[in-house]
Amino acid sequence: MTEVKGSDIDIVTEDGTADAYLAHPADGRPHPAVLFYMDAYGLRPHLRAMADRLAATGYTVLVPNVFYRAGRTPVLDLPEVIDPAADPSIWERIGPIMAAHTPDRVLRDADAYLRWLAGTPLTTDGPVAITGYCLGTRLAVRTAAAYPDRVAVAAGFHGGNLVTDDPESPHRVVDTITAELYFGHAGDDHSMPPEQVAAFDAALDAAGVRHRTEVYEHAKHGYTQSDTPAYDRAADDRHWAALLELLGRTF
């Protein structure tokens, strides 16, 4: 694996300053850019480790604290093992912050993140890749739809609520996507049951979006997150293989 350099940076947005983690090969040369969208638990050591692992394969990876309006990292004081079953107050605290992260805020911020990646000498020219986890899957879809000329590929893992009755549901915006998409859905996920998976695929098919959908049977929502009880080593390994294959074919 390539030696990696990681650092904390700030990105100016229309609404303030987002703190973020940046990981890239230590050679200082430009590499393809990956915008890494966090899950609802936020930017924390586990996500930094994931970004480092991805950067070691030859990418410049940006992980923004998308909840920066609520505070700098750590936005929430969370235990080393995050288990809402043991502490229901975790979601009581996260819920209002997630609700405040509206689609218009998502897109304003995405523009800032993409512009930052385009402007740094650590990235190669051209469109970026996106990978998103849980909440981050929705952000990845919205970003790919809003900025089709700036996103080459996007992947989402154990995303939830991609098809809802909301007029701004993610499945309603996919018709502008030109990127190739990959989704690794959790097989045991009340936020993305089989009927939602089918409806989301139907929306992508109707829009003519190139995509591949896989359901990781028996994996739980959050299967890539090793600091939670949902972690599943086999499903996580499968996610890494799928993500690196997608990026490798693209860049």
- One of 31, 46, 221, 239 is an active-site residue; which one? 221
**Alpha-carbon gap, residue 200 to 126, rounded angstroms:** 28
Q: What is the DSSP string of 124-182?
A: -SS-EEEEEETHHHHHHHHHHHH-TTTEEEEEEES----S-SSTT-GGGSGGG--SEEE
- One of 134, 201, 211, 239 is an active-site residue; which one? 134
- One of 24, 31, 185, 189 is an active-site residue; which one? 189
The reply to whether 185 belongs to the active site is no
**Alpha-carbon gap, residue 242 to 240, rounded angstroms:** 5
The reply to whether 19 belongs to the active site is no
224 exposure class (CB count in 10 Å sphere: 0-12, 13-18, 19+): buried
- The dihedral over CA atoms of 39, 11, 18, 150, expressed in degrees to the nearest 10, equals -40
The reply to whether 134 belongs to the active site is yes
Specify the DSSP element, H or E, that contains 34.
Answer: strand 33-37
141 exposure class (CB count in 10 Å sphere: 0-12, 13-18, 19+): buried
The residues annotated as belonging to the active site are 134, 189, 221
